[in-house]
Amino acid sequence: MQNKVQYLNYHPDVELARRILEFYPGTPRLYLHSFGCQQNVNDGELLRGVLAGVGFASTDTTEDADLIIFNTCAVREHAEQRVFGNIGALKALKKKNPRLIIAVCGCMVQQADVVEKFRASYPFVDMTFGPNSIDLVPQLLYEKLSGGKRLLCPPNERTDIVEELPAERNSGFKAFLPIMYGCDNFCSYCIVPYVRGRERSRRPADVLREFTALVQQGYKEITLLGQNVNSYGKGLEESVDFSDLLEQLCAVPGDYILRFMTSHPKDATRKLIDTIAAHPEHLAPHLHLPVQSGSDRILKEMNRRYTRAQYLELIGYAREKLPGVTFSSDIIVGFPGETQQDFEETLSMLREVKYMQLFTFIYSKRGGTRAAELPDPTPYEEKAQRIAAIQKQQEELLEPMMQARVGSVQRVLVEGEGRAAGTLAGRMDDNTLVQFALPQGVEAAALTGTFTPVRITGARLSMLTGELA
Ligand code: SAH
Ligand code: SF4
Ligand code: F3S
């Protein structure tokens, strides 16, 4: 396939920044909130970085903001409703501060009907722009400030990859690093391919450069992002797959853990598992491998392009090669036409795999997707009962798995103070939450952002508890 992606480098425009700042008497303030997945959170960090480059300071209250940005998610109806609710609440602010600009960006406004809804029913929304326009935001903002008119950009299909965008990261030790954008898989229920456009990969040298810089800045956990990291490299000039990329990154010396998501089971290979096995110092024996359903009939309707048997074969290979490997998954219940029989196959799948973490969702109809056309006779109450049954079974399965860790010593990346007073909390290599007592005379800040060995002394469903080993 011919690679039509253009690779651009971001250069801050000093003159444009100067002209933007002329509209404000002092330092303008940005309030930005990101909804949705890690990719969106990362986009928010880039957006904040780009606007900091223009001269915006951040604020965490909407009341004193000059620019409010909601970076939105469209994956389920509930996510969209939350955004509409939050934005509705801003109307009064606009009256208090006529200079205030309200912008909505991200996945929701990559749908023409949503942009139309903002145009028709939310007159106080001044700007919309999609996730492919972050580098263009200073220009858009200037147009809005100088022209005055609302600037509701229609969805765009831009496929350029813009390197060198400045990120203002939320954490000093955990970083997201996108390696690809978009999605070509068109799972029948999913809106992402429509709002994020076609799949395209960053060049390995660009990923490696950013990764090396993060390690040098002291980042301890770096999560590679893509809707399907296992198809990384398609369309690039050089022949490189995801495992090759991991090899290149793991060669960077340093004290860090490398995570990635999401790994689509249809493209997860034995080579990937062998690569994880070869780099225990940087790659955790853990796979987020969203199965969605345990029924072959439903998997086919979902267009997931693997069978239950193929999925389990991969799990088996990982268990063979990676001692202590753990898995996590996403599950959709109530996909159109899912029968009680199909649902029970999902329950039995969970019993076979025994996931450490499960993210469960009730199917949400997304306009324009193929599944939206399917008959969906199951009442919502029945779907709600199914998700409750899944969660109950998962708790029963999880309990002994958490208990089995009591007595072991685990490497924990400390994230900060725990919920209980006098404790610290962090994550094990496989993402399990651990809370442990802050030793006498040690400052929380001294351990935050470091790898610390913790002896596990207790287990609850949602987390382990322990003490410094
Ligand atoms: N690219 C990732 C998933 C991104 S969306 C993958 O393929 O695994 C995250 C999760 O949201 C999905 O795994 C799925 O479980 C859920 N999801 C996506 N669309 C949904 C919908 N229409 N209704 C309910 N859940 C959905
Ligand atoms: Fe959606 Fe499927 Fe793409 Fe994941 S792989 S983003 S579920 S279409
Ligand atoms: Fe949501 Fe867009 Fe991510 S739809 S899940 S924010 S890619």
Q: Which two tokens stand for residue 117?
A: 């809804």
Residues 123 and 17 both lie in one domain: yes
User: 376 C-alpha to center of ligand 3: Å?
Assistant: 24
Q: Which two tokens stand for residue 427?
A: 């994550």
- Coil, helix or strand at residue 331: strand
- 33 lies in some domain: yes
- Among all ligands shown, which has an atom nearest to the Cα of 263? 1
Closest-CA residue, ligand 2 atom 1, reads 190
Residues 396 and 357 both lie in one domain: yes
Residues 250 and 336 both lie in one domain: no
CB atoms within 10 A of CB 269: 15
Q: Which domain holds residue 14?
A: 7-152
Cβ of 299 less than 6 Å from ligand 2: no
Residues 303 and 275 both lie in one domain: no
Closest-CA residue, ligand 1 atom 7, reads 264
SS (H, E, C) 139-167: HHHHHHHHHCCCEECCCCCCCCEEECCCC
Residue 7, strand partner residues: 161
Q: Which atom of ligand 1 is nearest to the CA of 185?
A: 7
Domain's final residue, options 250, 284, 318 = 284
Q: Are strands 451-459 and 409-417 parallel, antiparallel or unpaired?
A: antiparallel
Residues 20 and 148 both lie in one domain: yes
Question: Domain of 313: which CATH number?
Answer: 3.30.750.200
The pLDDT of residue 95: 86
Question: Domain of 104: which CATH number?
Answer: 3.40.50.12160
Q: Are strands 200-201 and 221-225 parallel, antiparallel or unpaired?
A: unpaired
User: 78 C-alpha to center of ligand 2: Å?
Assistant: 18
Cβ of 427 less than 6 Å from ligand 2: no
CA distances from 428 to 6, 28, 173 (A): 39, 40, 15
Residues 12 and 144 both lie in one domain: yes
Residues 399 and 427 both lie in one domain: no
- 164 lies in some domain: no
Inter-axis angle of helices 340-353 and 308-321, to 10 degrees?
A: 10
Cβ of 227 less than 6 Å from ligand 2: yes
Question: Domain of 233: which CATH number?
Answer: 3.30.750.210
User: 217 C-alpha to center of ligand 1: Å?
Assistant: 33
- Stretches where the chain sits below pLDDT 50 are 1-2
Residue 9, strand partner residues: 163
Calpha distance 83→81 (Å, rounded): 5
Cβ of 185 less than 6 Å from ligand 2: yes
- 192 lies in some domain: yes
- 446 lies in some domain: yes
- 105 lies in some domain: yes
User: How many domains are there within the chain?
Assistant: 4
User: 403 C-alpha to center of ligand 2: Å?
Assistant: 34
Residues 381 and 430 both lie in one domain: no
Residues 378 and 439 both lie in one domain: no
Residues 183 and 219 both lie in one domain: yes
Cβ of 303 less than 6 Å from ligand 2: no
Domain's final residue, options 254, 284, 314 = 284
pTM for this predicted structure: 0.97
Which of 203, 177, 325, 194 lies closest to 261 in space, CA to CA? 177
Domain's final residue, options 260, 284, 308 = 284
User: 381 C-alpha to center of ligand 3: Å?
Assistant: 26
Q: Listing from the earlier edge strand, what are the strands of the sheet with 127-129?
A: 57-58, 29-34, 67-72, 101-106, 127-129, 151-152
User: 38 C-alpha to center of ligand 3: Å?
Assistant: 8
pLDDT tens readout for residues 23-49: 999 999 999 999 999 999 999 999 999
- Among all ligands shown, which has an atom nearest to the Cα of 71? 3
Residues 317 and 419 both lie in one domain: no
Calpha distance 108→116 (Å, rounded): 11
- 2 lies in some domain: no
Calpha distance 62→33 (Å, rounded): 10
User: 194 C-alpha to center of ligand 2: Å?
Assistant: 10
Cβ-contact 117, 69 below 8 angstroms: no
Closest-CA residue, ligand 2 atom 4, reads 227
Among 38, 39, 41, 75, which residue has the most ligand 1 atoms within 8 Å of its CB, making it the best to mutate? 75
Closest-CA residue, ligand 2 atom 5, reads 185
Residues 181 and 228 both lie in one domain: yes
Closest-CA residue, ligand 3 atom 5, reads 37
Cβ-contact 272, 266 below 8 angstroms: no
- 178 lies in some domain: yes
Question: Domain of 451: which CATH number?
Answer: 2.40.50
- 52 lies in some domain: yes
